[in-house]
Chain A
Amino acid sequence: MSRDDLPLVLGIETSCDETGAGLVRGCTLLGEDVASSVEQHARFGGVVPEVASRAHLEAMVPTVRRALDKAGAAPSDVDAVAVTAGPGLAGALLVGVSAAKAYAMALDVPLYGVNHLVGHVAVDQLEHGPLPKPAVALLVSGGHTSLLLVEDLATRVRSLGDTVDDAAGEAYDKVARLVGLPYPGGPPIDRAAREGDPEAIRFPRGKWGDGTYDFSFSGLKTAVARWVEDAGRTGEDLPVPDIAAGFQESVVDVLTRKAVDACVDNGVEHLVISGGVAANSRLRALAAERCAAAGVELRVPRPKLCTDNGAMIGALGAEVAAAGLPPSRLDLATDTSLPVELPLAP
């Protein structure tokens, strides 16, 4: 089958605070656009669902239009529509799913309601080509911290472990607030940490060596809060770079150790790291170091594809369509906690 025989898939993503649309053919990204409402959430210190939903409705059609323009495509060129059916915020998901159904119905093309988490893995194919089977994937974002065993993107994905409390990105946001850095906390902590000494303050490693692939960041966050409070009593200026570096080292140490262990234990030679926190420079560096030592090939998509976007949903839609799975029906429901074992929503 030549490349032009593959369907042109419009991917739509609205699970959190990013409105995304992407045009994908096979493993090729033709054009994508993202509108973010992150600035509207900043003063609240986290995503406000109603604010996000309102922003999605305003941004939906313009974002699809910009993605089509970048791809040099017209709506009538679209062969299938894929959309995030879950997991995510209920009201936010509904905007994207409603829009996707409308585009699919108007264009008379198949609709695929797909899994946001698996989309984060599938997007790597747009950067590095077909994903070797099997692969382990580490998804780290503001809403998720998951280790997955991916035998087939469209049909066989298994959860190896998950966070038992906060997501890694959530811990970054909370710690940023504790030390007076802005929301979202990932980029400013990453920057501050580069000026600090990661050994200066030793913070605890949650669920370190507990024999599972699960994570915990709540205790770490409390340890940072306690440290900051104690320092406040002495009246000294907070050593923000050292706190950021110590906190970040604790997070990425556990993430990379468990991810590499999951590869070694399962005899898997390929690790994908994706999600918003995959943009973190220390995570990338330590993962590269440990993967090299363990003989594991590391694949990390470029930062723009790691955060929420429509291209990742288009990429998974293309995979699901290629697998010949039946399209979703027009009464497709959103599922705020769609399990990762279901790349295509039931």
Chain B
Amino acid sequence: MLLLAFDTATPAVTAAVCQAPEGGGPHTVRTAAASSSVDARRHGELLAPAIRDVLAEAGAGPGDIAHIAVGVGPGPYTGLRVGLATALSLADALGVPCHGVPTLDAVAYASGRTGPFIAASDARRKEVFWARYADASTRTGEIAVDRPAEVDTGGLPVIGHGAALYPAALGGGSEETAAFEPLYPSASALGELALRRLLAGEDLDPPRPLYLRRPDAAEPSAPKRVGQWKA
């Protein structure tokens, strides 16, 4: 069974084909092909070719896909929607189910950690998206958006791009980027996590974006006076 996974909720554009043999359990899941590139301004251009390429590398065509899993953020909205619009439309055209995976869960899963930690990503405006994990595959709370100094780390290690951006507040003072890896989600981790959960009979989230903020928009004030322009 093939699952196509991708995520565009961070500066990374990442796509993967994950697979399990027919009748295989969660432990039989592996990644057949994967690609990642980091370019925060070109999600819309990079994603579709990346999907085409990982499918080709896996020796598969669109018609072989049985499930789609997409990162639902949170993350910068414009990039985030590239992944979701692609996933929803692909699933519609192919007639296959589409699942959502929180992007931070993919970062956490790829860390392989066995103890508690925090994963954080860049929320822009000097804030981070963050959540607590008991281990790589178990999130223990809701994802939040806060200023780095307001995140109560409780002394836990913090991983992800959010920690690398704000090492003083989140990194325990470390300047070593390696301490915060993985910085970005990989579709390989996202896809394997999703396919293992599907094979274990667990429910996945719907493919709905996690924005966590309302749109910036202010209702207009009274019209500007123009009378002073009159001679």
- Contact surface of A with B, Cβ cutoff 8 Å: 43-46, 48, 50-51, 53-54, 56-57, 60-61, 64-65, 75, 90-91, 94-103, 105-108, 177-178, 222, 225-226, 229-230, 329-334
Contacts and interface: CB of A to CB of B under 8 A. Distances in A.
A48 B227 CA distance: 29
B81 A91 contact: yes
Contacts of B89: 60-61, 64, 98-100, 102-103, 106
Nearest to B225: A229
B109 to A, nearest CB: 25
Of all A-B residue pairs in the complex, the 4 with the closest CB atoms, nearest first, are A106-B93, A102-B89, A50-B215, A98-B85
Interface stretch (B40-48, B117-125, B146-154, B161-169): B40-48
B49 interface: yes
Nearest to B92: A61
Contacts of B220: 44-46, 177
Interface residues of B, number: 41
Nearest to B8: A98
Interface string B19-60: 000000000000000000000001111111101100000000
Nearest to B213: A50
9 contacts: A44-B219, A51-B217, A56-B85, A60-B89, A98-B47, A106-B94, A178-B223, A222-B226, A334-B44
Nearest to B230: A226
A106 B77 contact: no
Contact of A98 (B44, B77, B94): B44
Contacts of B219: 43-45
B45 A57 contact: no
Interface of B: 42-49, 51-52, 62, 77-78, 81-90, 92-94, 209, 211, 215-220, 223-227, 229-230
Contact of A332 (B45, B78, B85, B223): B45
Contacts of B49: 329-331
Contacts of A108: 62
A48 B217 CA distance: 7
Contact of A94 (B81, B216, B217, B230): B81
Given A91-B81, A102-B85, A103-B89, A48 B229 contact: no
B215 A331 contact: no
Contacts of A333: 42, 44-45
Nearest to A227: B226
B202 to A, nearest CB: 25
Contact of B82 (A45, A98, A225): A98
A103 B216 contact: no
A57 B49 CA distance: 21
Given A178-B223, A331-B48, A333-B44, A105 B90 contact: yes
A46 B219 CA distance: 10
A94 B87 CA distance: 14
A56 B78 CA distance: 12
Contacts of A332: 45
A101 B86 contact: yes
A105 B15 CA distance: 15
Nearest to A333: B45
Contact of A102 (B42, B77, B86, B230): B86
Nearest to B47: A98
B223 A331 contact: no
B226 A44 contact: no
B215 A48 contact: yes
A97 B44 contact: yes
Contact of B88 (A48, A54, A61, A334): A61
Contacts of A48: 215, 217
A90 B93 CA distance: 25
Contacts of A98: 44, 47-48, 81-83, 85-86, 89
A222 B217 contact: no
A226 B229 contact: yes
B49, B209, B225, most chain A CB atoms within 10 A:
B49
Contacts of B86: 98-99, 101-102
A57 B230 contact: no
Contact of A57 (B43, B84, B223): B84
A96 B82 CA distance: 9
B215 A107 contact: no
A53 to B, nearest CB: 6
A44 B220 CA distance: 6
Nearest to B44: A94
Contacts of A90: 78
B218 A99 contact: no
Contact of A331 (B46, B77, B82, B90): B46
